[in-house]
């Protein structure tokens, strides 16, 4: 049955999509903007100074953009960039991110784009790369000056690039060319990839030499022949698959050489070993059975792990939720474990005041007459009154964008629950709710 299902995808359809991480003939505009924003709890105070924020910038192709099979203009990407952003929050980093993934971008186009960014020049799609399939291209390139500023402030830069450089090799194989001719095309593509990628990275580092840059290697989405008993069923001409497999290995060798040279010079450039996770998982980690080489949700999660391990050496997750536990809370990189669980009221997160304040290192003063809790941390003070629709931050009244604080009875205990966003942001913490993880991150 598996073989029958896969054979519905013709060799020609497979050949037209494999290897090219960016060659898209019918993409629609699925990302309304290059600016990706996380979902924040209702803000009670102005944002803290930008110097405290860990800035992540992603540049590259459609895999960077987080494209998945079947995306429309209404789709919200949850690609490897979003996974890395969540990992930054897990590590206690007050973070934000911008995603400049561009459908159809080749390495030579990236180099021309970075030239324009460094020089502060506004360009059009036709100046960078002809026939780009991304309908957002001109809008994105018009933001070159904004990208220059973002790169100049970046702490971490993520990148996938190079899959589309190999499209010429795939076309040559489709034409039935011999190995010698295909090898000549491959070597030319690899030379362009190495030259243009290294130049692009050097341009980026000229804007922000202190940034850490992590580039992924290329995965091969073609499954090995399917074995059923004594029978072997190739899903793609095996000689061509092996040639492409070797091509990907050679491209990784070129990437190793680039990173080796930059590392010797003291630059912080690393490789995310994303390709290995896809080996023997091509059908689960991509949509190749539907004629699309882009990662599936599982594939992007695997890439996120590869990037996180290259950056921080691990990949973190909250513990499995117990029955009735609707949300997890991670404070400064540490998951809060308490007998008094968070509560959801009108889709807002409420927490026991004493538990959260102690975890933050804050002090609490309780005025029984006014039923007001005064919470102090460093130079910030937050007054929260039971039943009141305002909160005072350093004495200034702010409208409470959530139901008021309340006393919750649990057995014989009476516990004061307060809106998490009002307290945390009043004390100058960043509060981010990630629906994907059902987790609230609170970082100083």
- The per-residue pLDDT for range 369-401, each reduced to its tens digit, is 999 999 999 999 999 999 999 999 999 999 998
Regarding whether 332 and 261 lie in a shared domain, the answer is no
Regarding whether 435 and 349 lie in a shared domain, the answer is yes
Regarding whether 381 and 333 lie in a shared domain, the answer is yes
Number of domains in the chain: 2
- pLDDT value at position 18? 45
Regarding whether 301 and 167 lie in a shared domain, the answer is yes
The range of the structural domain enclosing residue 248 comes to: 2-311
H, E, C per residue of the chain? CHHHHHHCCCHHHHHHHCCCCCCCCCCCCCCCCCCCCCEECCCCCCCCCHHHCEEEEEEECHHHHCCCCCCCCCCCCCCHHHHHHHHHHHCCCCEEEEEEECCCCCHHHHHHHHHHHHHCCCCCHHHHCCCCCCCCHHHHHCCHHHHHHHHHCCCEEEEECCCHHHHHHHHHHHCCCCHHHHHHHHHHHHHHHHHHHHHHHHHHHHHCCCCEEEEECCCCCCCCCEEECCEEECCCCHHHHHHHHHHHHHHHHHHHHHHHHHHHCCCCEEEECCHHHHCCCHHHHEEHHHCEEEECHHHHHHHHHHHHHHHCCCCCCCCCCCCCCCCEEEECCEECCCCCCCEEECCEEEEEHHHHHHHHCCEEEEECCCCEEEEEECCEEEEEEECCCEEEECCEEEECCCCCEEEEEECCEEEEEEEHHHHHHHCCCEEEEECCCCEEEEEC
Distance CA 266, CA 319 (A): 38
In a domain, 247, yes or no: yes
pLDDT tens readout for residues 38-66: 333 322 333 444 558 999 999 999 999 99
Select from 286, 311, 336 the last residue of a domain.
311
- pLDDT value at position 51? 58
- pLDDT value at position 72? 82
Residues of the chain with pLDDT under 50: 1-29, 32, 36-49
Regarding whether 347 and 230 lie in a shared domain, the answer is no
- pLDDT value at position 177? 84
- pLDDT value at position 67? 96
Select from 257, 279, 311 the last residue of a domain.
311
pLDDT tens readout for residues 401-418: 899 999 998 788 899 999
In a domain, 86, yes or no: yes
- pLDDT value at position 403? 93
| CATH number (domain holding residue 389) | 3.30.457.10
The structure's pTM equals 0.88
Regarding whether 394 and 293 lie in a shared domain, the answer is no
Regarding whether 246 and 137 lie in a shared domain, the answer is yes
pLDDT tens readout for residues 98-131: 999 999 999 999 999 999 999 999 899 999 999 8
Regarding whether 359 and 305 lie in a shared domain, the answer is no
In a domain, 133, yes or no: yes
Distance CA 277, CA 293 (A): 15
In a domain, 124, yes or no: yes
In a domain, 82, yes or no: yes
| CATH number (domain holding residue 128) | 3.40.50.1110
Regarding whether 159 and 10 lie in a shared domain, the answer is yes
Regarding whether 272 and 229 lie in a shared domain, the answer is yes
Regarding whether 383 and 277 lie in a shared domain, the answer is no
In a domain, 210, yes or no: yes
Regarding whether 289 and 373 lie in a shared domain, the answer is no
Select from 311, 340, 356 the last residue of a domain.
311
In a domain, 316, yes or no: no
In a domain, 319, yes or no: no
- pLDDT value at position 375? 96
């Amino acid at each position: 049955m598996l073989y029958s299902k896969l054979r519905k995808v013709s060799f020609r359809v497979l050949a037209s999509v494999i290897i090219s991480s960016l060659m898209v003939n019918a993409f629609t505009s699925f990302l309304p903007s290059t600016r990706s924003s996380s979902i924040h709890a209702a803000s009670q105070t102005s944002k803290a100074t930008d110097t405290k924020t860990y800035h992540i910038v992603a540049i590259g192709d459609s895999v960077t953009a987080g494209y998945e099979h079947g995306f429309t203009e209404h789709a919200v990407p949850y690609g490897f960039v979003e996974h890395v952003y969540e990992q930054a929050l897990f590590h206690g980093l007050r973070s934000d991110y911008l995603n400049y993934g561009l459908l159809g971008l080749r390495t030579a186009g990236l180099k021309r784009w970075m030239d324009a960014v460094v020089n502060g020049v506004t360009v059009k799609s036709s100046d960078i790369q002809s026939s780009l399939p991304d309908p957002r291209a001109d809008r994105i390139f018009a933001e070159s000056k904004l990208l220059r500023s973002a790169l100049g402030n970046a702490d971490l830069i993520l990148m996938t690039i190079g899959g589309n450089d190999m499209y010429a090799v795939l076309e040559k194989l489709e034409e039935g060319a011999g190995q010698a001719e295909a090898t000549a095309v491959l070597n030319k593509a690899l030379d362009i990839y190495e030259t243009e990628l290294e130049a692009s990275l050097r341009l980026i580092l000229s804007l922000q030499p202190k940034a850490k840059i992590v580039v992924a290697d290329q995965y091969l989405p073609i499954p090995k022949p399917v074995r059923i008993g004594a029978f072997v069923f190739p899903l793609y001409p095996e000689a061509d698959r092996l040639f492409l497999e070797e091509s990907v290995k050679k491209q990784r060798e070129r990437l190793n050489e680039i990173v080796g040279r930059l590392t010797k010079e003291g630059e912080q450039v690393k490789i995310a070993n994303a390709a290995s996770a896809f080996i023997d998982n091509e059908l689960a980690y991509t949509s190749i059975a539907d004629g699309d080489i882009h990662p599936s949700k599982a594939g992007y999660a695997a890439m996120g792990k590869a990037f996180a391990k290259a950056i921080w050496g691990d990949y973190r997750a909250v513990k499995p939720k117990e029955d009735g536990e609707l949300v997890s809370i991670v404070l400064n990189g540490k998951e809060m474990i308490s007998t008094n669980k968070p509560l959801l009221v009108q889709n807002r997160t409420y927490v026991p005041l004493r538990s959260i304040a102690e975890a933050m290192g804050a002090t609490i003063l309780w005025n029984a007459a006014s039923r007001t809790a005064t919470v102090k941390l460093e130079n910030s003070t937050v007054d929260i009154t039971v039943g009141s629709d305002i909160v005072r931050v350093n004495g200034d009244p702010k409208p409470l964008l959530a139901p008021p604080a309340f006393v919750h009875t649990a057995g014989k205990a009476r516990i004061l629950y307060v809106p998490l966003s009002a307290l945390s942001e009043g004390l100058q913490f960043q509060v981010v709710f990630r629906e994907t993880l059902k987790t609230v991150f609170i970082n100083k």
